[in-house]
Each structure stands twice: as C-alpha cells, then as structure tokens.
Amino acid sequence: MVKRVTFKPAPAHAWTLLWLLLAGWSLPASAGWFDDEPPLVVTVNNAYIDVYTGPGRGYPVFHALENGEPITLLKSRAGWIKIATERGLEGWVKRDDMQYTLGPDGLAPDFIDEYRSDAVVGRFEVGAALGDFGGADSVGLSLGYRFTRNFTIEADYSQQAGRYSDSEVAVVGLLHQPFPEWRVSPFLRIGGGTIKVSPSATLVDTEDREDPVLQASLGTYVYLSRRFFMRVEYRNHHLLTTRENNEEVSEWRVGFNAFF
Amino acid sequence: MASWLQRLFLKALVLTALFGPAVALAQEDDPLEPIVGADIERRHIDEDMLDTENFEVGGYVGVLGIEDFGSNTVLGLSLAYHINEDFFVETIYGSSEAQKTSYELLSGAVELLTDDERDYSYYSLAVGYKVFPGQVFMSRNLAFNTHFYLTAGVGNTEFAANRYATYSLGAGYKIYLTDMFAVDIGMRDHLFSHELFGESRQTNNFEGRIGLSVFF
C-alpha cells in the first residue's frame, strides 16, 4: 500500500519533467535561437570604399562603393568584411573602412580593437601551446571558459616526448587575471590532475606509472588581435608519487589562444 | 558563426530545461512585441553582431614517405585559425603505416618492428604565412581566389611504440571554390630523430597531400 502511494506521483512527475524538457528545447528554438537575424545594413559615408575580390590586400579591387550607398554586412574574416550591395554584388572591404559607414542609428558601427580580457566574459577560449617540460618537448591543447572579468576555468591536456620517457598530463585549472583590462595582462593559475609516465621502450623496460599532479603557474596574456592572444607561462608541476620522494618539474610554455 | 556556436555551447552547458519555457513565455506575453519590433531597424551595429569565419577545419589524403620504411597513404585532419590576412595557426593530425625496410625484405626473416609498432601518427602545431594572393580563371566569367602559404611547426610523432618530438615545415597552394570551401594542395616535411637502428638518426619524412577545408 505504502509503496503504491509513494510511487504513484513519480511517473506523473517524470512525464511533466520530460514534457518541460521537450518544451524547453523546442520553444526557445522557435523564439529565435536559430532564426536568421535581420540583415546588418550600413550606408557609405565617404567618397568611396574599395571592394576587393578576396579577404586580403593583394586581391584585386573590382568595384568602388559610392557615398550614400546602402550595403549589407555578411560576415567577417581575418580583418576583412564581406558585403553585398543592393544590386547583389558581393565582395570584401577592409574592416578599418567600417569607420566610413553609418549604421541605422546614424552612428558609425563599433569596430574597435579592444585587446582586453574583460571584453570577452562568457566566452570560450581554445588554444594550443608548446613548451619545455624539464628538458622534454611538450605540446598541449586547452579549452577554457571565462565566467567573470577575472576568472577562467580551463581543461588542459599535453603530451611530452623526452629522451628517456614520454608522458601525458591532463589537468583542470583555475586562472586569475588581476588586470583583465590590460593588453599585456598577467595571470596566476593553479591546477590539478594526473600525469602518466611511460619510459621509452627502446631504452629501459619498466612499467608505466600514473600519479596525481598539482600545478602552479605564473604567466601573461599578450593580445595580438581582438579575439586572439599569445600566452607565455612558467608552470611548476608537483608530482605526488607513490615512491619515497615527490617530484617537481618546471615547464616553460608559449601558446596561442582564440576566443569564440 | 561564432555567436550561434557559443549559444549552442552555453545551451548544452546549462541545459536550459526549466529556463526555456519561462523565457519563451515572457516573449510571447509581451503585447508590444510586434509594434516595438520595427525599432530593431534603428539599432546600433556592433562587430559582435557579425558572423565571423576565422576557423577552418579540413581533411586531407596523401602519400607519406617514412624514411627507411617505405611510403604509404596518409589520412589527416586539420584545424586552423586565421589571425589576420597574413598569418594563421594550424594544428594537424595524420596517421599512416610504415612498411618494411629494405634490410627486412632482403634478409627475409628479420622483423625490426611488430605490426602494431608500424602504426605511424603525428600531430603538429604550426604558424602559417600566406603569400602571393591572386585569382585563377576557370573560364571568362569564373575566377577563384587563391594563395600560397608557408608553415613551420612543432609536434610529436608516435611510431615504433615511442613518441618523438617533431619539427615540420610545409608549403601549399589553396584554391577557394567559394568563401567557405577551399581545396588545399600541399606538402609537409616532418623531421625527427630516432635510434631504431642503434645510433641517433635525423629523418626527413615528406608528405604530399590534397585536402578540402571548410571555414566557419
């Protein structure tokens, strides 16, 4: 009896939850998650703007936009904007030329170089790095999420190829930038994870070992463009081994990261 | 692209299950929505509203000559980010298989490596520089954008149950069929040293390849 009473509401609740999940998934989609946004139309506010066949200064100029001509902005790539004219002609203009246009509100659109970390809160960053891991060559990938002006949480995986052993390090880290508004912005980072060491097969024949590892790093972001930066870092690894002594390894690394 | 990808990520993270309906209902309940909607025409334009296409993902197929171990088909994937009109960074991953050395073939019975040890894979992180932009004309009215590029990178090679720090140099020619799709014809040289024959030996492993990539 008791069982029946207590279990009966559960399936009903589950169905409600399932329905809510489905509704939650489909409703926002119809409310604009994947809808086409209205086109971005600006008017030319200069004697002319050159239109190139491709996104680069070396491609030929094949058209000139006239003063007062409305153009639609389609997409951007590597410092160039793809546009379409009212007559359907498509081409590329320099991103810097956006300052010679006016938006629907009568102001020039914001195409400014911010070069700062606090402008990208709520974004993911993906990057790759090279380093010197206590004499071994290290290559790594990282994925981070900036959840406040100052903090980024990140997952990091790297592989090392050394003379006597190879290793793999997988860690989760928390990174703090005290001055996110600076173009060259220093950071502190702590992390923890595991390290797997495999001695080289051609030299010695011992077993692989896997140990926890703690990391502390000091480094800096150097913004190279609005969404792209270089990261230079000194990282100290503390290996918590099962043997008598713990090990420490120092690593220098340089990486490139992009926000998306 | 960046913006919808971002939304997708955030969506997956938060799993909007219970938020979703609330937001949607709030929007539907707003009686002013259709009238105020016209105002959208007077909005201020910001760079973040524009779709970005700075990432490039691609696949390639080619032939890799593994020094002393013959040549074989190589299959690979690449991911690139275009920083500006001149530079890009690229990560590539490829896999192939080594064949028998001449010594193994001539001697008949000697096996230097097991089958598993003949699996060959590499990855590399490289910086690229785009040169000679231009166009090729397929017909009177059809032209494709093209450019050459040079790359230099660092990475690892997994071969013979070992990992080797590897430098790679490359060059290639890229033909843009549309703004989104490009054909890439290129070559790479993967340099690393190994001690499989007793003493340390620097090897050059050349690869010729053709690939297709998509910008997003």
Q: What is the per-residue pLDDT across A43-78, written as a single tens digit (0 to 9) for each?
A: 999 999 999 999 999 999 999 999 999 999 999 998
Q: How many CB pairs under 8 A join A and B?
A: 172
Whose structure tokens read 């340089």? A254
One DSSP character per residue, chain A reads -HHHHHHTHHHHHHHHHHHHHHHHHHHHIIIIISSPPPPEEEEE-SSEEEEESSSSTTSPEEEEEETT-EEEEEEEETTEEEEEETTS-EEEEEGGGGGGEE-TTSS--B------GGGGTT-EEEEEEEEEETTEEEEEEEEEEE-SSSEEEEEEEEEEE-SSEEEEEEEEEEEE-S-TTSSEEEEEEEEEEEEEEEE-TTT-----EEEEEEEEEEEEEEEEETTEEEEEEEEEEEE--SSSS-EEEEEEEEEEEEE-
pLDDT bracket for residue B42 (50, 70, 90): confident
Q: Which of A75, A111, A138 to mutate: most B Cβ within 10 Å?
A: A75
Calculate the average pLDDT of chain B.
85
Of B86, B195, B193, the closest CA to residue A55 belongs to: B86
- Say if the Cβ atoms of A24 and B125 lie within 8 Å: no
A207–B contact, CB cutoff 8 A: no
Q: Which of B50, B77, B83, B147 to mutate: most A Cβ within 10 Å?
A: B50
How is chain B split into domains, by residue range?
2-49, 55-215
CA A153/CA A146 separation, integer angstroms: 7
- Give residue B14's pLDDT: 57
Lowest mean pLDDT across A19-23, B62-66, B193-197: A19-23
Of B99, B84, B135, the closest CA to residue A53 belongs to: B135
Residues of B in contact with A136 (CB under 8 A): 165
B34: part of which helix (H) or strand (E)?
Answer: helix B33-36
Q: Please state which architecture CATH assigns to domain B55-215.
A: Beta Barrel (2.40)
- Give residue A120's pLDDT: 83
Residue type, A136: A
pLDDT bracket for residue B43 (50, 70, 90): confident
The ranges of chain A with pLDDT < 50 are 1-10, 23-32
Contact call for residues B92 and B38 (beta carbons, < 8 A):
no
Tell me what the mean pLDDT of segment B181-207 comes to. 93
Residues of B in contact with A124 (CB under 8 A): 6, 9
A159–B contact, CB cutoff 8 A: yes
Instruction: Supply the ipTM of this predicted assembly.
Output: 0.73
A18–B contact, CB cutoff 8 A: no
Residues of B in contact with A168 (CB under 8 A): none
The residues pairing with A16 across neighbouring beta strands, listed in sequence order, are: none
Share of chain B above pLDDT 70, in %: 81
- Give residue A36's pLDDT: 65
Q: Which of A228, A229, A253, A257 to mutate: most B Cβ within 10 Å?
A: A228
- Give residue B163's pLDDT: 87
Nearest to B23 among A28, A37, A202 (CB): A28
Share of chain B above pLDDT 90, in %: 55
User: Which tokens go with A46?
Assistant: 């200069």
Q: Please state which architecture CATH assigns to domain A117-259.
A: Beta Barrel (2.40)
B147–A contact, CB cutoff 8 A: yes
A258–B contact, CB cutoff 8 A: yes
How is chain A split into domains, by residue range?
2-30, 40-102, 117-259
- Say if the Cβ atoms of A75 and B52 lie within 8 Å: yes
- Give residue B107's pLDDT: 87
B114-153: pLDDT as tens digits = 888 899 999 999 999 999 999 999 999 899 999 999 999 9
B58 has a pLDDT exceeding 90:
yes
pLDDT bracket for residue B28 (50, 70, 90): low
A 34-63 near B (Cβ less than 8 A)? 34, 37-38, 40, 42, 53-60
Nearest to A161 among B43, B81, B164 (CB): B164
CATH 3.40.720.10 fits A40-102, yes or no: no
- Give residue A110's pLDDT: 87
Tell me what the mean pLDDT of segment B103-120 comes to. 87
Q: Please tell me the pTM assigned to this model.
A: 0.74
Tell me what the mean pLDDT of segment B17-27 comes to. 47
Residues of B in contact with A129 (CB under 8 A): 125
A21: closest CA of chain B, how far (Å): 5
- Give residue B175's pLDDT: 96
